[in-house]
Structure 1
Amino acid sequence: MNSELSGIAGSTPQREALPPSMVERITLIMDLFERPMLRLTLEQIAGQTGLPRSTAHRIIDQLVGVGWLEHMTTGYRLGHRALGLGGREVSHSALRAAAAPTLHRLALRTGLVVHLAVLDETEVYYLDKVGGRSAVDVPSRVGGRAPAHCTALGKAMLAWLTPERLDQDYGSGLASRTKRSIVGRVQLHEELGRIRGRHGLAYERGECFTGIGCIGIALRGPAGPVGALSLVGEIQDPLERFAPLALGAARSVMDELGSESWRLGIDMTPARVGAAQRTPVELASASGA
């Protein structure tokens, strides 16, 4: 009897042996994130993997630092690098589908070419282009890229990144596309400040393509820009008159995205973006955790 009581009162459940390698421990953690929008707390991760809380926290911090996970007030979720391994294409398809009706309405109402794009580091990546016959006169293409700081689309998204992120991304300088392109970081910061002062409206006249002007607006969640749309005309067009339509279109797309946010991986709190560019395996080999 005494031995039974002492066994109940004094013993603790035996924890299964922990995976011996860092790669296996990282795999245990990453395997928990089955969906782009799934959020898990540190306690949930430690409990479900069987890792000590301190070990789990140390590994997670490093995964956050290199962008494989993101930390938010409600827990952790897959980061931009993990989503880029396959989830990014799903997100792009969902974003394009959600925005398509608004893009077509905007093109019909204005007679202008309309773009949809996302930010990929220092470039914009074009997801869609609508505009009938006039679209052939605009030298952009779906699947194409352009320097973000030279386009209204890109500047509209860059305006909502932190100054530290911008300085990091543009530490090696800004490439010039035309004689009108922004070429200095101070000039870029000043331009992005003006964009924020215009409720996010960005203008570009001949900075990316000679003779072409654009008005752009970011599609923003609380975590930052998830994309942007722009109206494209000739450089002398009074693009300011399209500002209410651009703002309204952005609101319409974001309303549509509300029911699709889990597919898009849109975070609802500020994200922490890592600067290092290492894979989980490289992280494991460099870590003593």
Structure 2
Amino acid sequence: MTSAPELSVALPPSMMERVTLIMDLFESPQTHLTLETVSRRTQLPRSTTHRILDQLVRLDWLRHTVAGYTLGNRALGLGGREIGHSALRAAAAPHLLDLAVRTRMVVHLAVLDGPEIYYLDKVGGRAAVDIPSRVGGRAVAHCTGLGKAMLAWLSPEEIDARYTQSMERRTHHSIGRLDQLHRELGQVRRRGGLAIDRGECFPGLGCVGLALRGPEGPVGAISVVGDGRSSLELVAPLVVNAVRAVADDLYGTPEPHRREVPDVIA
């Protein structure tokens, strides 16, 4: 009895077509794929897949992380970063609105960009007019709850690299020295990631923020803004719930490696 002949899969004839097959799998900056997944989905031999992935990493089209392969700086520079921002904003939108309705306060969504934050969204109805921030605007990261919430999950070396020059102070409450910032970020981590700003960015205003963390670190943050004299701690659990809901929508699972956050900040 003779065995059936093995079926051979015709490989794409050119290297460019093989590279395109692989790059098409990375639909957004949040996509992380293992070597086995890429090989299976493209039907390319594992050795061929590994060789192409290695070349793409060396050329900075992809990055190899503990969570798998993901888009590199070259790919993000072609518009991938904006695609990622759009995906984050779309996932967060209903939860930002719900948070604004529940707290009757202004809600921000922002991402980290060097030593600054970049506002992706702002929700809060008429109250939003009184808050001097805008979608597409920027603020100094270490002076905001949003920024501190994201900076807290970077390594000390990354923090030092972002602040090679003197630190800008927006108000007399702002952090002005690197050692102060490191101590403050330690406090944020001990609070499970919740960051508080009382008049550090805008006089008289305060906020409580929490970072949304992906497989490699902070991908954004959500904050609630109000009177700096108000009990912002009381709305912290609602901010936590909103961040967890966005993480679930983006990644399909709750925020990775999250720590439990107390109902009220000590």
TM-score by length of 2: 0.76
Contact kept in structure 2, 1:129 and 1:135, CA below 8 Å:
yes
The alpha carbon displacement at 1:76 in A equals 2.8
CA gap 1:137/1:86 in 2 versus in 1, 3 angstroms: same
The Cα RMSD (Å) is: 3.3
Contact kept in structure 2, 1:157 and 1:225, CA below 8 Å:
yes
Contact kept in structure 2, 1:213 and 1:236, CA below 8 Å:
yes
SS of the equivalent of 1:233 reads strand
| 29-38 or 69-78, larger mean C-alpha shift | 29-38
CA gap 1:140/1:72 in 2 versus in 1, 3 angstroms: same
Which blocks of at least 5 consecutive residues in structure 2 are unaligned? 1-14, 258-266
Letter in 1 for 2:23: F
Q: Measure the CA separation in 2 of the matches of 1:227 and 1:207.
A: 20
Point out the structure with max Rg over C-alpha: 1
CA gap 1:102/1:223 in 2 versus in 1, 3 angstroms: same
1:153 is aligned to: 146
Q: Measure the CA separation in 2 of the matches of 1:117 and 1:241.
A: 22
Superposed counterparts of 1:131-210, under 5 Å: 131-210=124-203
Contact kept in structure 2, 1:41 and 1:74, CA below 8 Å:
no
SS of the equivalent of 1:103 reads helix
CA gap 1:29/1:188 in 2 versus in 1, 3 angstroms: farther
CA gap 1:214/1:89 in 2 versus in 1, 3 angstroms: same
The alpha carbon displacement at 1:88 in A equals 1.6
Residues 1:224 and 2:217 aligned together: yes
Q: Measure the CA separation in 2 of the matches of 1:104 and 1:206.
A: 24
1:33 is aligned to: 23
The alpha carbon displacement at 1:222 in A equals 2.9
Letter in 1 for 2:110: A
Q: Measure the CA separation in 2 of the matches of 1:52 and 1:41.
A: 7
| Residues 26-67 of structure 1, C-alpha deviations (whole Å, 9 max, x = no match) | xx86884222426364996x97997995x985x556445xxx
Between the two proteins, the alignment pairs up a number of residues equal to 236
Letter in 2 for 1:87: G
1:241 is aligned to: 234
| Residues 132-174 of structure 1, C-alpha deviations (whole Å, 9 max, x = no match) | 1111000000111111111100110010111111111112232
Contact kept in structure 2, 1:118 and 1:227, CA below 8 Å:
yes
Letter in 2 for 1:196: R
SS of the equivalent of 1:213 reads strand
CA gap 1:106/1:188 in 2 versus in 1, 3 angstroms: same
CA gap 1:191/1:31 in 2 versus in 1, 3 angstroms: farther
Q: Measure the CA separation in 1 of the matches of 2:50 and 2:83.
A: 34
2:4 is aligned to: none
CA gap 1:48/1:196 in 2 versus in 1, 3 angstroms: same
CA gap 1:111/1:52 in 2 versus in 1, 3 angstroms: closer
Structure ranking higher on relative contact order (CA contacts 8 Å, 6+ apart): 1
Contact kept in structure 1, 2:32 and 2:67, CA below 8 Å:
no
Letter in 2 for 1:39: L
TM-score by length of 1: 0.71
